[in-house]
Amino acid sequence: DVKVTQSSRYLVKRTGEKVFLECVQDMDHENMFWYRQDPGLGLRLIYFSYDVKMKEKGDIPEGYSVSREKKERFSLILESASTNQTSMYLCASQEDGWNTEAFFGQGTRLTVV
């Protein structure tokens, strides 16, 4: 059974803290993604990676960075958390190629106070 695991279901952080969200997949997928989900806005892409150490900005990268040191692990970093980064964060992985399914983790609900 395919699996994308996010390290935390719920996180509460203070404004200005550096926050790490971790994601691990066990499917040997090349591509990994970080989305944030907000009501009425759907899923918006923050960053993605198509290979180890390779990363590309998505639609809303400001205030975020990512790290992919190993194929199975993709980390999202909030350099200095702000209240407008309170959201649900979803990690996904996907095999490279047309018509492949993106598999999502269960999400991390981050609250910045």
The residues binding another protein (CB under 8 A) are 4, 30-31, 33, 35, 40-45, 48-50, 56, 58, 90, 92, 94, 96-102, 104-107
| Nearer to another protein (CB atom), residue 3 or residue 18 | 3
Q: How far is the CB of 77 from another protein (least distance, A)?
A: 19
Distance, in Å, from the CA atom of 91 to the CA atom of 106, rounded to the nearest integer, reads 8
Residues 67 and 54: beta-carbon distance below 8 Å:
no
Kindly state the smallest distance separating residue 34's Cβ from another protein, in Å.
11
Query: Do 48 and 35 form a contact (C-beta atoms < 8 A)?
Result: no
